[in-house]
Every structure is written in structure tokens, then in C-alpha cells.
Chains A and B, each alone.
Chain A
């Protein structure tokens, strides 16, 4: 099953540093193949090097795409992480 969702990065640091590390750790828990699509590039969402190399900053829109049995919950949790938990870091 392939599942994907668009999400806007709204926290201050973007998907770098600590948020990137936490994101990768969350992605790593799932069996599905998970990718981030940004500006025509696709990277493995379980790779810290891949995620950081995208240079996703505040205001950028990315697509999270998962392929596998747990794709639905993976996309849900990762989008939630970006929209809710990463925002909390700013407060």
C-alpha cells in the first residue's frame, strides 16, 4: 500500500538538527519504505544524511510517501510530528 501526504514545514529550524534526528528515528520504527520528496529530489526518510541533505527550511512544502503494510500510520505519525511536535520546540 502506498500512502502519501503533503505537509508544510512551519517550525523555525526547519528539518535540520534535532528535529531531523527525531524525525529519522520515528521513521525508522516502521517497516514501510518511507521517502521524503522535496523539489524533485527523493530521499530515504530513515537516513539522517538523506534528510539533512535536502536542506528543508521553514516555509517549504514536502511530501511524505510510505510504501508497505504500516504506510498509513507511518505517514500519519510523521505528519503529526512535523505539524505538532516540531512546532512545540519553538515555544
Chain B
């Protein structure tokens, strides 16, 4: 048995036969042809181009049907390349002038174009280089009569590859392909995203070990939840996974029933179960899992992996698209939260002794109009297109909250003056993640439309435990009675002023904590998309009165261990 661990790219479990995809090993025989063979090669080229166009056209239609127009666009782009008035003569000229056989001519032209795009500064254009290669390989395969991987595919296979191109992934016949695993890639690479859209398990980034050790037609287990791949598993592992697979299937089927149901308790008490997101791509999984809103859009992701601040327009586009996708459902967008463990190289902040207690989040924004104002403008403008709510991170005093709110009013006045459309009545709320904010929550609640509790930081600041320090990782627990009491105090303070209170930290999706949070009166639970259905299901097993009674008991317990044990005992 061989176990290789990689990145869990798409959840689920599959047990099947491995099928190695060795595209790169297609050998292109470079031949010099004679003058009288030129016409024949050009003719071959054109029939291969026609074949390729035909299959791309089919692929485009199929993808549009299976995965939507947006995913099919890539093949429209491929078709344009094959219709390009510069590309076709380039192929022909290589054959005619360099006296090359068609396959070698295509390869050389494609390599030249790909090299040109690879050298460009623009990331978008660099990626187009791989489209050109993808198209080129299709034509070459047609020229050489190489079988496409799907031709030799039997049922229940797991594809093992170095990497999968967009055409590979879109062409996967999900009736036959159970999963795929790749040497390259990350959670955000194209193939991983496609796997999640197709709903098949996938593990990526397995490294060169995968290619060295993988064998064709061997039993393989893919654990897309934990990022594990087993080749030729022993009997006990196989049995274990067969059981897991059965359970997983049964659970998925059962949970799907909750997708379109309102999140409510057995006795009809309604709460909101929402999802957390970092970028636009996360919206679909939240909706597909029955999320009733977005409780936390971490806007800092718009600021990362780039060399300068995103412009107002760029942000507006993203917020607007997210708002449109969510429709009437609430979309809580947190203003920039950098500093602490999240650095932006281009802002060039000085190193600090205690970054988590330092210059971060709202503290930065309040000092830097050049950062804060474009974001607020974008949020207010996008607010016209959906149910956007603005949320400030790391508020530790009333002054900060009032200053941030004043900034919103200032920006509104500017937009009005400029005659730009914006949402005058946008809801404004704040995160509760600093103990000082909990202590004055009664005063803060008068100034906002909602609270959202950020448990990770609240624990860190309450228990004085660095959440990045592995030595004391065990101390960073939401079960600490002090943390639970702060949560309760926050909820009560919010309700006293008739505002809703949510939670967008990891703890909101923890199954064990659910009865406590429900009983404490939490109104909104925001978590990773994959947890939503399960939490919706557990909610239906409790009545509000039962949860309230348990919540009171939990608040009397003395240690985190006791809390956890008690919650495990009462879990349904």
C-alpha cells in the first residue's frame, strides 16, 4: 500500500481504478518533407483543424449545458484561436517554408506563441499561453490519430495526472470518472475549482511522488476530505474506506434535503445559517449548500497577491457581482482587516513586537483615507445592487466606532454631491472580537445595526493566548467558560437594543457548540460552506426552550474540559 498526501481540493471519497494520463509523452516525430509532400501535409492540417473545431464546438455546448455559459467561454476562446487569420497561415508557412510535417509545424508555432505570452507582464495574458498549448495539443492529437483519454476509459476510474487542463476537466465524463488526483495544483487552481463545480472528489498538489509511484489500473482510494490518496490499499484500509464511503453517501443524501429549508429549530424558531467567503468564487458553494446569506466576506483577499491597492472601481465590481449573486440574501462585507498575521507587502508597515496588538484593521483604516474611503465608496455604491451590510473589524472603543461611522457619512455626502448612486440606508455593524468591546457592548449596540462575534480573535485576546503558537494551541479553545460568558453578554447587550447578533468565527460551524449558541440567543451562524447543511440539520433536532436550558447549565461549568464533555453528552 502506498499513501501519498496532498491538498484536499474537492471533498468526498472515491474508490476506483487508477487511469494514468500521460499526455506530455506524445511523441512528435519531426520529419523533413519534400516539396511535393507540402500540399498533402497542408491538407492533413486542415482536416485536423476541422476535426478539432468540431469537437471544441461540441465541448462548448456540453459544458454550457452541464456547468453553465461562464465555464464554456474558455472553449469559445479556443475556437477563436483556431479561426485566427494569423495562426492558420503560420502553420501553413512552417510546413511550406521549413518543409516540416504538419504535427511538428503545429508544435513549433504553438511553442512560439506560448513563449510570447509566457513572457508578458500581465497575469491574465500569461495564462492564455496555456490555452494556446491546450488548443495545439488537440490539433496534434487529431493529426497523429492519438486516442483521447476518454476513448479508453472504462467505468469507475480515478484519473491520475501531472495536471489537468481546462479541456481535460470539462471533458471528464462524470458517469465514468469518480475522482481525479494531480501532481500539481492548489485549492484555487482551475482543476480544483472545476472538481468542486462537478462535485467529484479531488486531491491536488501531490508532488512528483505521485507520478513516480502511480501504476495504471490499480485500486486507488481518494479521500478528498483529508487530502489522502492510497494506491493498492491493504484489506483493512479498503474496508475502512468502503464503510466511510457508504456513510458519506448516505449523509450527503440526507443532508441535501435541508438545502432549501429555512434554518429553524424543531419548534419553528428561526435563525440564519450563512457562509463565509474570501472571493467571488466562494458564492456558488455557499448557495449550493443552502446558505441563507454571507455572514462574512473577508475583503482583505481583494488586497492580497498584488502590488498595489485595489481601486474603487475594482472593488465596486466585485462587491456588486457578489451582491447580485446573493439577491435579497444578506451579504455582510468586512472592511479591510490587515496587520496581525495578514501583511500587505506594498503597504510597507514597520515590523512590530506584538502585531496582533498593533497597527491593524480599523486602526489602519481610520488613519488612511486613501485606503478606507475608496472601499467605503465601493461598498455604498454596490449596496444599490443587493443586500450589502458594512462591518468594521477590531473595534475596541466607542471612539473608533463613531469615527468609522463618521467616515461612512462623509463618503455618503461626497457621493451625493457627485451625483453618484449609492445606498443611503445601508446597514452598518461591527465585529465583536476584543473583550473591551464586550464590556461596553450595551453602548456600542446603540450605534450599530448588528454585531458579529469573531471567535478566533476573541479567544486570543480574552485568554491571552497567541493563536499562531503551536505550543499552547490547546489553550485556544472556544469552550473556555470566559469566552462563553463573553458571547452570552454580547448577545444580551445586542438584544437589549433590538439588534441581531451573529457569529462568523470558526466556532459558529462547530456542531458541539450549536445548542449553547442557539440557547444563548444567537441569531446568525456564519461558517464554511461545507458545514452549512449539517448545522441546519442539527438545528431541527432542538427546541429553543431545550437549548436555552442547556445553555444556562453550560454557563455554570468551571473548566473548558467540563464544557466540552457536557456538550458532547447532550449532542444530538
Is B120 close to A, CB under 8 A? yes
CA distance A55 to B124 in the complex (A): 10
B88's nearest neighbour on chain A, judged by CB, is A47
B44 CB to closest chain A CB (Å) equals 22
With beta carbons under 8 angstroms apart, the residue of A16, A46, A53 that contacts B116 is A53
- Chain A residues bordering chain B, tally (CB within 8 A): 17
Q: Report yes or no: B85 in contact with A47, Cβ–Cβ below 8 A.
A: yes
Q: Report yes or no: B86 in contact with A47, Cβ–Cβ below 8 A.
A: yes
A75 CB to closest chain B CB (Å) equals 18
Q: When A and B form their complex, what is the total count of cross-chain residue pairs whose Cβ atoms lie within 8 Å?
A: 42
With beta carbons under 8 angstroms apart, the residue of A12, A44, A57, A90 that contacts B85 is A44
Known: A47-B87, A52-B128. A57 touches B81 (CB 8 A): no
With beta carbons under 8 angstroms apart, the residue of B76, B80, B122 that contacts A55 is B122
Q: Report yes or no: A90 in contact with B125, Cβ–Cβ below 8 A.
A: no
B533 CB to closest chain A CB (Å) equals 35
> For residue B122, which residues in chain A have a CB less than 8 angstroms away from its CB?
16, 55, 57
> For residue B87, which residues in chain A have a CB less than 8 angstroms away from its CB?
47, 49
> For residue A1, which residues in chain B have a CB less than 8 angstroms away from its CB?
none
Is B77 close to A, CB under 8 A? yes
B86's nearest neighbour on chain A, judged by CB, is A47
> For residue B516, which residues in chain A have a CB less than 8 angstroms away from its CB?
none
Range of interface residues on B (Cβ < 8 Å): 20 to 34
Q: Report yes or no: B313 in contact with A12, Cβ–Cβ below 8 A.
A: yes
Q: Report yes or no: B121 in contact with A46, Cβ–Cβ below 8 A.
A: no
> For residue B121, which residues in chain A have a CB less than 8 angstroms away from its CB?
55
With beta carbons under 8 angstroms apart, the residue of A48, A53, A55 that contacts B81 is A48
B55 CB to closest chain A CB (Å) equals 20
Q: Report yes or no: A49 in contact with B125, Cβ–Cβ below 8 A.
A: no
> For residue A49, which residues in chain B have a CB less than 8 angstroms away from its CB?
81, 84, 86-87, 113, 132
Is B117 close to A, CB under 8 A? yes
> For residue A79, which residues in chain B have a CB less than 8 angstroms away from its CB?
none
B314's nearest neighbour on chain A, judged by CB, is A12
> For residue A24, which residues in chain B have a CB less than 8 angstroms away from its CB?
80
> Interface 1/0s, chain A 19-37, versus B by CB < 8 A?
0010010000000000000
CA distance A48 to B124 in the complex (A): 14
Known: A44-B86, A49-B86, A53-B117. A16 touches B80 (CB 8 A): no
> Interface 1/0s, chain B 501-545, versus A by CB < 8 A?
000000000000000000000000000000000000000000000
B197 CB to closest chain A CB (Å) equals 20
CA distance A54 to B257 in the complex (A): 52
Q: Report yes or no: A16 in contact with B86, Cβ–Cβ below 8 A.
A: no
> For residue A55, which residues in chain B have a CB less than 8 angstroms away from its CB?
120-122, 125
With beta carbons under 8 angstroms apart, the residue of A16, A21, A43 that contacts B125 is A16
> For residue A16, which residues in chain B have a CB less than 8 angstroms away from its CB?
122, 124-125
A interface residues (Cβ-Cβ under 8 A, vs B): 12, 16-17, 21, 24, 43-44, 46-50, 52-53, 55, 57, 90
Beyond A16-B122, A47-B87, A55-B121, 7 additional contacts (C-beta under 8 Å) are: A21-B76, A44-B85, A47-B86, A48-B80, A48-B81, A49-B84, A49-B87
- Closest A-B pairs by Cβ, 8 of them: A47-B86, A48-B80, A47-B84, A50-B86, A46-B85, A49-B84, A47-B85, A49-B86
